[in-house]
Amino acid sequence: MSGSGEAVGAILILVGAIFSLISAIGGIRLPDVYTRSHAASKSSTLGVLCALVGTLLFFLISDGYFSIRLILGIFFVFLTAPVAAHVLCRSAYRNDVPLVGTAEDELKDYYMENENTDEDKEEVTENEAPAIKLIDNETPLQVSET
Amino acid sequence: MIFQTILLIALGILMLSILANMYRVVKGPSGADRVQALDSIGINMIASIAAYSVLFHTHAFFDLILLIGILSFIGTIAFARFIERGVVIERKR
């Protein structure tokens, strides 16, 4: 009766563990921050999704217990792991971590232009910041008086 | 019996992958490497808790899966903001 549930859960968890091992080997062997992040985020997310789906199916088939918390965990991991990898790669790029390989850095020209405009905008806002603060201090008084 | 053996093998493979990520935490040249490896260790811990709860046939640890996922995500975002800007929470002007 519970043999099929055990088989499905064990096989899916084993496949997820093997995906996690492959992602960890990619994290050791790849030469760069970005390629390592590529390996770690995608393959490790797929591995943990396989393991959690295996757990869900095991408890659903063998016990008839459907866990909302496990569904929520699957959804949350699936949603947040690529976002974390994206933010980490962006922080590494902005700290000028070098990228290894034959591909040329196509982001750099656009990024330098963008950074220059950002600096100009920051200077402008720094110059205008006291005026904005004065207006913000005055406007609630006028509103309260009227 | 085969069921428990397969689950123990899966737990051993997950332990090996956590050790490989620990190598990257120790040796990684930049900070983003270390934070990425720690995030991957958190994800492997989630998978290990799932395998453990299947092995012992209990559903008392499902809250732990959700909790470790949320804490790992928040820690990774905080470290990435610290690496990128130098502060975690910016002061309002």
CB spacing of B69 vs A76 below 8 angstroms: yes
Q: Where residue A124 falls among pLDDT bands split at 50, 70, 90?
A: very low
Residue ranges in B1-93 assigned as alpha helix (H): 2-27, 31-55, 62-85
List of residues 6+ apart from B10 with CB closer than 8 A:
A10, A13, A14, A16, A17, A51, B51
Per-residue pLDDT at A63: 87
CA distance A120 to A97: 25
A interface test, pick of B53, B54, B58 with most A CB neighbours within 10 Å:
B54
Residue B34 has pLDDT above 60, yes or no: yes
- Give the Å distances, CA to CA, from A12 to A45, B23, B42, B70: 14, 27, 19, 23
pLDDT in tens, A63-95: 888 889 999 999 999 999 999 999 999 998 888
Instruction: Identify all chain A residues contacting B81, using CB atoms and an 8 Å cutoff.
Output: 87, 91
Q: Which of A72-81, A123-132, B16-25, B73-82 has the lowest mean pLDDT?
A: A123-132
Cβ–Cβ below 8 Å for B80 and A84 = yes
Backbone angles phi, psi at A88, to 5 degrees: -65, -40
Looking at beta carbons, which residues of chain A come within 8 Å of B23? 28
* B88 pLDDT above the threshold of 90: no
pTM surpassing 0.90?
A: no
pLDDT surpassing 50 at residue B13: yes
- Check residue A119 and give its pLDDT: 52
Contact B44 A76 (CB under 8 A): no
d(CA A72, CA B86): 33
Q: How far apart are CA B72 and CA B66, in angstroms?
A: 10
pLDDT tens-digit series, residues A22-67: 999 999 999 888 899 999 899 999 999 999 999 999 999 988 888 8
CB contact B7 to A (< 8 Å): yes
Q: What is the predicted pLDDT for the residue at B8?
A: 93
The DSSP 8-state label assigned to residue A98 in this structure reads -
pLDDT of residue A24: 93
Give the residue from chain A lying closest to B36, CA to CA.
A37
CB contacts under 8 A, B 12-51 vs A, are 13-14, 16-18, 20-21, 23-24, 30-33, 35-37, 39-40, 43-44, 46-47, 50-51
Q: Which span out of A40-49, A112-121, A122-131 was modeled with the highest average pLDDT?
A: A40-49
